Amino acid sequence: MPTVKQLNFDLPLSVLIESQQQVNDLQLLSITTGHIYALEKLPNHHRDPFDRLLIAQAMTEKMPLLSVDAVFDRYRIERCW
């Protein structure tokens, strides 16, 4: 899986994100203390700290998580992709 730096976009990443926010009515989700507290309750199916934070956010906000990584299916979240 490529990193963001390895992806080739026609536009600068900042322009691409801003345009997609407008076109698709997307909002950025900030990290809250509630998300951090949810980390304590997570089973240790996934060891990557960033992914664990995404899982905690998805659980807390009751939002689907967009990822190809099937390990997310071990948690009580909806995974799309």
**What is the rounded distance in angstroms from the CA atom of residue 73 to the CA atom of residue 42?**
13
Kindly state the percentage of the chain with pLDDT values over 70. Answer: 96
Distances (CA, A) of 10 to 13, 14, 22, 32: 9, 12, 18, 33
Nearest residue to 73 via CA among 48, 65, 60, 56: 65
Residues 7-18: tens digit of each pLDDT: 788 899 899 999
The closest alpha carbon to 76, from 62, 33, 37, 34, belongs to 62
**This prediction's pTM:** 0.76
Kindly report the average pLDDT of the chain as a whole number. Answer: 91
The domain segmentation of the chain, as residue ranges, is 13-74
Tokens encoding 41: 């309750």
Give 6's pLDDT tier (boundaries 50, 70, 90): confident
Tens of pLDDT, residues 37-46:
999 999 999 8
